[in-house]
Structure 1
């Protein structure tokens, strides 16, 4: 028997000509079967066909008068439910575990809402926020010209849009190296060494932008860095690659280094990890709920228990652009 084709949510979205967020909503409501491979969601082609045929069968029914009223009522209820999902659910972009905790608190808050998580990097998150595909995005984007975090990018990527930047945490960024740092990688210039191999992050992630900004500042040609084109999509994946000898060095936050065996962390700089949403949404109940949660003692204590964060400014408004 031929192996059944499996699809990613994006591939399903392309096939059905809908957004990826709609695919996640279908999965969350149980309308479309899915399963996880590690942390990745996968959907069998047979389940996509079953979903398509289910809607097609309903459309082809020729009911009698009573059945017609029932079907019309069900269609109306379904439409209302889908509209409520659209109105109530918040799409939050970002990869840190603190956002999973925030989503749980938000669902339980009296003024809260259901939330859908989109595990994309900082640049992609701002892009989705600007295009209305997400309501909140987290960023840790360093600007080399101003030596500042996030504000310049929010201004440029949300043109003519007033946005609120709320501080979550300060995190340490640095190099992941093998235990004992056998290649003695301690500064950005070391990445250009001929015997050094890098594992990079994907374009638009905070760590990738940090690297590119420093290379530009130092006048280093990325084409001379071994492994610059090799990309991985998370801090943990980068640290794991270094740990098993797939690269000499990677870039990420200190917390991930503490979760992978055989890794040392070389501190480079402190970053600001912050939450962004449109100012026009600030007074809406779910957004007020988020601010309330971030400033609550329970939320702070839970993050302190995880460790790896400087929470001294948690919940404070950094800027309104």
Structure 2
């Protein structure tokens, strides 16, 4: 899970240091069963642009320019949530962004569209931008955690997964991806009690 999107029960509480959103969401998602919140990885989201940044894109305000075309992600994706939040903060309406409705369903697809000239910019992972030789303009870091319901914590497959997450080999392989932070991978961040 990553965040912070708006959930059906409204926005999460203020989280100035970026560490509490996933715990808030875990409590909401795990509900009555409780369980573990286990760190997976953190990575950078940002704008992918063609080499040399021919449109001179620097920040979200540049998306409102008529000569800039966006490729977007599907509603609910972390990239879309980030973009929508940045647009709202800048007072920009999605309807005023060329390409806002041009939607693809993966980070690599965003990078492919930009690399192929189908759009000037898209929000994606640093790893996806780098894989296709694009420049990357960082916007935010996103942390993704795994939620393990209490009734599955001792399941053999879950135990294997949790053990693998803590191995040096797995962390080295995941950490070799550009922009991935694996400093806490496999760490149990919280034990969420079952609701009464």
Question: Which category of TM-score, normalised to the shorter sequence, fits these structures?
Answer: 0.7 to 0.9
Match of 1:255 among 127, 130, 149: 127
Deviations 1:117-144 (A, max 9, x none): xxxxxxxxxxxxxxxxxxxxxx222258
Counterparts of 1:159 and 1:192, CA distance in 2: 40
What is the aligned partner in structure 1 of residue 96 from structure 2?
Answer: 224
The answer to whether the 8 A contact 2:42-2:182 is kept is yes
Alignment of 1:92-107 (within 5 A): none
Counterparts of 2:27 and 2:35, CA distance in 1: 8
TM-score by length of 1: 0.52
Alignment of 1:56-205 (within 5 A): 139-143=1-5, 145-147=14-16, 148=18, 149-205=21-77
Alignment of 1:204-223 (within 5 A): 204-223=76-95
Counterparts of 2:121 and 2:185, CA distance in 1: 31
Cα pair distance change 1:320/1:229, threshold 3 Å: farther
Counterparts of 1:188 and 1:161, CA distance in 2: 40
Deviations 1:235-265 (A, max 9, x none): 111011011110111001100111113x111
TM-score by length of 2: 0.82
What is the aligned partner in structure 1 of residue 165 from structure 2?
Answer: 294
1:277 Cα deviation from its structure 2 partner: 2.4
1:272 partnered with 2:143: yes
Counterparts of 1:163 and 1:220, CA distance in 2: 39
What is the aligned partner in structure 2 of residue 317 from structure 1?
Answer: 188
Counterparts of 1:191 and 1:302, CA distance in 2: 35
Cα pair distance change 1:259/1:313, threshold 3 Å: same
Q: Aligned residues, how many?
A: 182
Cα pair distance change 1:152/1:269, threshold 3 Å: same
The answer to whether the 8 A contact 1:243-1:260 is kept is yes
Counterparts of 1:194 and 1:299, CA distance in 2: 45
Counterparts of 2:178 and 2:120, CA distance in 1: 26
Structure of greater relative contact order (alpha carbons < 8 Å, 6+ residues apart): 2
In structure 1, runs of 5+ residues without a counterpart are: 1-138
1:186 Cα deviation from its structure 2 partner: 1.5
In structure 2, runs of 5+ residues without a counterpart are: 6-10
What is the aligned partner in structure 1 of residue 8 from structure 2?
Answer: none
Counterparts of 1:154 and 1:213, CA distance in 2: 21
Cα pair distance change 1:240/1:317, threshold 3 Å: same
Deviations 1:183-226 (A, max 9, x none): 12121222222221110001111111111222233332111111
